[in-house]
Amino acid sequence: MAFITANWNPLGEAFYRKTELYEMSWNLRDGLRDSLVAAAPYGGPIALLREPHRRSPSSRPQLEIYSASGVAIASFPWKSGPVVQLGWTVSDELLCVQEDGSVLIYDLFGSFKRHFSMGQSTKLQVLEAKVFHSPYGTGVAIVTGSSRFTLATNIDELKLRRLPEVPGLQGKPSCWVVLTQDRQTKVLLSNGPELFILDNTSCTAVCPPGLSPQAGNIVHMSVSFSYKYLALFTDTGHLWTGSSHLQEKLSEVDTKKTTTPKQMIWCRRPKSQQPSVVLMWDRLLLVAGVCSDTDPCVLVGELDGVRIVSSTNQELLQEVPLVCQDIFKIASMAPGALLLEAHREYEKSSQKADEYLREIKEQSMLGEAVRQCVEAAGHEYDTNTQKSLLRAASFGKCFLTDFSPDQFVTTCRELRVLNAVRESSVGLPLTHTQFKQMTLQVLIDRLVYRQFYPLAIEICRYLKIPDYQGVSRVLKHWASYEAIARAVCVKVGDSPGVSYSHIAAKAYECGRTELAIKLLDFEARSGEQVPLLLKMKRSQLALSKAVESGDTDLVYTVVSYLKNEMNRGDFFMTLRNQPVALSLYRQFCKLQEQDTLKDLYNQDDDHQELANYYVTASYREKRLESRLSLLQSAVDEYNKAKNEFAAKATEDEMRLLRFQRKLDDEKGAGLLGLSLQATIEALLALGLHKQAEQLYRDFKVPDKRYWWLKLKSLAEKEEWEELEKFSKSKKSPIGYLAFVEVCIKCNNKYEAKKYVSKVAPEQKVKAHLAVSDLEGAADAAIERRNESEMAAVLSRCSASDRLLIDRLNRARTTATKK
């Protein structure tokens, strides 16, 4: 622990430290010499292209991809044209910019994904290219043989922008960088002593403030990770640093080196007051002044430092975070440092622990101390240091009552995750700051992308990420890679929210249709299953899935698809096996295609429905003959369906229609289409009693109904004599109260009275009342000794019927007595 500061180097106020990240797992024969190297920030992968300019087909250069720890991921011979520049996109795709302006995109595993070109012209010659990152994504900038710059801000939405000409520029500039400022992407370039800013429309000469004129030509420049700072290196060895707006100068250093550095990278941590630049020459590494090192290396600019990759190992050079400085600085009295000391003494069971603790507590700085320890632990790379800091924090926490444990817990968890991914086998040397910037989601995505599925799942579970964001998503990707149905489902099966259709779609893309179908079986969302099944031409299966879903629109969709795909016979057969689909299709036909409906019923031998179909159709016919022939078809079908009643009823209807037509022709009676009842009514109204009688007999109209009919019809026509005759023709099946009531309804009390005497005893009172014969009603009620009837009569009596009222009341009392 005491040696923690051993690798710290002071620079002005701040300290810089170099932490060894890895001993590289790779074994490079020629080191990094003569290679194009691209390493992605955030502990990203490293791509290596040996001797990119070797063009003989017999010895093609080899493109190799490694993890940050040097574990080989892919390697393949480079068969395309000469490569000018390699670079990584934000989503870990490798960009290879070729001399002819085409850009080839490979994934992490070296499989070719796609390509695009930085210009239309075939004579394009790319002199230099740069891959840069901005809020819009990953961009590419090139400078061509004709000294023109072309930019693509986001390669996923390719829009090429040719920048204006730079006056006086021949060939490539001495150096240039891409800047993103004020939501605009610009190029800063130098041509000899001149400095220009190129944007979409103009080329402006600029001058960095405070750069002494003797400084000479600018030969190297570098912009910081955040595009905020700029470093310029001149051929006289002067290093100028300042804001990238070229508004203010930070420092100017004479490095006494007149050769151009191979690489110059900003090294600073966010919010630091001390920006510094790392320069590298062949045998020298210089942090704006300090230097060491010998081996050919590559510098990788990071958010909070610089990674130095050499053929044997990899180091992180960074400014020591303030909180670490506070704690570990020699003789520091910061609360965190005291707490660490207190804990150390405590472990030794020394009473000094109490003294240290008391000292912190007296300043009421214990909370701050714990916070410092936790924060510092986050920045430490060494697990032992992490542990002792966290233990100290935990120790200090015991003496605080209302200290929120959140930060402590989160840091512990995150450190566990970080330590796991820093493992050489995984090779993501992320610092805590980088992790925070990149977010957990992206980390998991990157793990998934690198096919570290089990680790990704473990992390999701460990950090308790909701399934649909975490485990399920990982499983989805994993399964789409492994693509073996059973194994997939055994493993994926119990995690809800997995989209099997995505997996299946992937499997289908890989040409594994059967597997895709099996996988789809596990998809809960039919809406997702069906379109894919249709795409795979598994229409039968699509249909049964659609039916299963209950979503009728989906069923309709498949049905209409099938209808176009299949011949009619097969189509019908398919539907026949799916009753739900069949009935939906019938519904559709009912509204849209009547003829098809008939064919469907025919095919199914559904005689009942077929008959109904004919009946409906018959009503659409204007000509009686066609109507009758359709009805005859209905009769046949009803017979086949063993629906005797319907067959008979239909035959009756045909008979009735013929009868009506005959009478219409003979007498112009206008009967056609009327119901039997209405026909008889009409006949009676026309005085055609004989014909009415005939229908009554032929169609076996029940007596009761016929009597009612005739009674009403005669009364309406006021044929009272005829009515009386009719009443006497035989005993009325509807009784005689009906006669009374109908007469009264036709306002003929006189006629009504004729029938009162014939009314059955239980209805007599009603009959008398109907003809307003109170006395008669009273007599009948008293005779029947019916109390409620008496009451009913009473309620109709007015005060003038004194005598009657008395009589009824007397009868009532006797009736109740009994």
The footprint of other proteins on residues 537-596 (CB under 8 A) is 549-554, 556-557, 560, 579-580, 583-584, 586-588, 591-592
Q: How far apart are CA 158 and CA 180, in angstroms?
A: 17
Residues 262-281 that bind other proteins (CB under 8 A): none
Compute how many residues bind other proteins; rule: CB under 8 A: 72
Amino acid at 306: V
Of 223, 239, 148, residue with least CA distance to 188: 223
Q: Which of 283, 525, 568, 667 lies at the binding interface for other proteins (CB under 8 A)?
A: 525
- Exactly one of 656, 663, 683, 774 binds other proteins (CB under 8 A); that residue is 656
Rounded to a whole number of angstroms, the minimum distance from the CB of residue 676 to other proteins is 4
Q: How far apart are CA 810 and CA 800, in angstroms?
A: 17
The H-or-E segment that residue 689 falls in is helix 689-698
Pull the structure tokens for residue 352: 């000094």
Structure tokens at 816: 């109740």
Cα distance between residue 107 and residue 745, in whole Å: 97
Residue 798 lies near other proteins (rule: CB under 8 A):
no
Take residue 27 and report the two structure tokens written for it. Answer: 């074994």
Complete edge-to-edge strand list for the sheet that includes strand 175-181 = 175-181, 184-191, 194-198, 203-206
Separation of alpha carbons 106 and 85, rounded Å: 14
674 contributes a contact to other proteins by CB under 8 A: yes
Q: CA gyration radius for the chain?
A: 50
Contact status: 115 vs other proteins (CB under 8 A)? no
Which lies closer to other proteins via its Cβ, residue 29 or residue 622?
622
- Token pair of 756 as six digits: 């009162």
| Whole-Å CA distances, 553 to 543, 559, 577, 769 | 12, 10, 19, 64
Smallest gap, in angstroms, from Cβ of residue 777 to other proteins?
A: 9
Q: Which stretch binds other proteins (CB under 8 A): 131-139, 373-381, 569-577, 651-659?
A: 651-659
- Closest approach, Cβ 523 to other proteins, in A, equals 9
In the region spanning residues 702 to 731, those forming contacts with other proteins, defined by CB under 8 A, are 702, 704-705, 708-709
Token digits of residue 815: 């009736």
Whether the CB-CB separation of 234 and 261 falls below 8 Å is answered with no
Q: What angle is formed at CA 150 by the lines to CA 199 and CA 36, rounded to 5 degrees?
A: 120
Q: In whole angstroms, how close is the CB of 505 to other proteins at the nearest point? A: 17
Minimum Å distance from CB 783 to other proteins? 17
Nearer CB in complex with other proteins: 122/592: 592
Binding letters toward other proteins, positions 734-773, x by CB under 8 A: x------x--xx-------------------xx--xx---
- Token couple for 140: 């590419």
524 binds other proteins (CB under 8 A): yes
Q: Does 372 bind other proteins (CB under 8 A)?
A: no
Give the nearest distance from C-beta 539 to other proteins in angstroms.
Answer: 15
Query: Which of these ranges, 3-11, 21-29, 221-229, 649-657, lies near other proteins under the rule CB under 8 A?
Result: 649-657
Number of H helices, E strands in the chain: 31, 29
Q: Which of 34, 37, 74 is nearest to 54 (CA)?
A: 34
Query: Which residue of 485, 615, 715, 723 would you call a contact of other proteins, by CB under 8 A?
Result: 615
Output 241 or 679, the one with its CB closest to other proteins.
Answer: 679
User: CA 582, CA 591: separation in Å to the nearest integer?
Assistant: 14
Q: What character string, x for contact with other proteins (CB under 8 A) and - otherwise, covers 379-418?
A: ----------------------------------------
Distance CA 812, CA 483 (A): 97
| Interface of this chain with other proteins, residues 329 to 368, rule: CB under 8 A | none
Least distance in angstroms from the C-beta of 525 to other proteins: 5
Provide, rounded to whole angstroms, the least separation between the CB of residue 770 and other proteins. Answer: 6
Token representation of residue 451: 């096919």
Beta strand extents in 118-224 (DSSP E only): 126-134, 137-144, 149-152, 160-162, 175-181, 184-191, 194-198, 203-206, 218-223
Of 494-513, binders to other proteins (CB under 8 A) are 496-498
- Minimum Å gap between C-beta 757 and other proteins is 18
Which of the stretches 155-163, 597-605, 667-675, 800-808 binds other proteins when contact is defined by CB under 8 A?
A: 667-675
By CB under 8 A, residue 646 contacts other proteins: yes
Q: Residue 677, interface with other proteins (CB under 8 A)?
A: yes
Q: Which 3-state string (H, E, C) describes 301-342?
A: EECCEEEEEECCEEEEEEECCHHHHHHHCCCCCCHHHHHHHH
The first and second tokens of residue 262, run together, are 């191979």
Q: Per CB under 8 A, which of residues 417..476 are in contact with other proteins?
A: 466-468, 472
Dist. CA 607–CA 615, nearest whole Å:
12
CB closer to other proteins out of 109 and 619: 619
Is there binding between residue 493 and other proteins (CB under 8 A)? no
Shortest Å distance, C-beta 624 to other proteins: 5
Using CB under 8 A as the binding rule, whether residue 796 contacts other proteins is answered as yes
535 belongs to the binding site for other proteins (CB under 8 A): no
In angstroms, what is the minimal distance from the CB of 647 to other proteins? 11
Nearer to other proteins, 283 or 525 (CB): 525
When asked if residue 241 is in the footprint of other proteins (CB under 8 A), the reply is no
Min separation Cβ 453 and other proteins, Å: 18
Helix, coil or strand: residue 532: helix
Task: Tell me if 203 sits within 8 A of 164, measured CB to CB.
Answer: yes
Q: Which residues contact 251 (CB under 8 A, 6 or more apart)?
A: 239, 240, 241, 288
C-alpha of 682 from chain center: 69
Shortest Cβ distance from residue 672 to other proteins (Å)? 6
In the range 31-70, which residues lie near other proteins by CB under 8 A? none
Nearer to other proteins, 272 or 612 (CB): 612
CB of residue 164 vs other proteins: minimum separation in angstroms? 38
Give strand pairing partners of 581: none
Taking CB under 8 A as the criterion, the residue among 506, 545, 627, 754 binding other proteins is 627
Q: Is 645 in the site for other proteins (CB under 8 A)?
A: yes
